[in-house]
Amino acid sequence: MKFNKPPYIIEVNGFFWNKKTRGCAIYPFIFTTNINDEVLMRHEMIHIKQELRGWLIGYYIKYYYYQIRYGYDENPYEIEAREKSK
C-alpha cells in the first residue's frame, strides 16, 4: 500500500462559513473547490508552509489575531500568500 505525503488535497463543493471561500489550509490538509486552479493551490501551499514555520498553533493564534486586527485583505499571512502565489 502506498501513502502520499502531506499535504493531502481534498476537493469540496464549498465552505459553510463563506460562499466566496475557494480554499482552506489546515495542516496536513488543503481543502479546495477547484483542484485544477494552480494559483489557488500555490496560495494554499504557502499557508501550509506558514503553518509549519509558525509551529501550527502559533500560526493559528497569529492568523486569527491579524484577521481581527487587520481583516482578511490586510492580514500579513494573506498578503504573503497572494504575493508568492502569482
Contact 59, 29 (CB under 8 A): no
36 and 15 in contact (C-beta within 8 Å)?
A: no
SS3 of 10, please? strand
**Length in residues, the chain:** 86
Quick one: average pLDDT of 53-66?
96
Place of cell 502559533: 58
Structure confidence by residue, pLDDT tens digits, 4-44: 788 999 999 999 888 899 999 999 999 999 999 999 999 99
The reported pTM is 0.91
Spell out a b/e string for 41-52, using b for 16 or more CB atoms within 10 Å of the CB, else e.
Answer: bebbbbbbbbbe
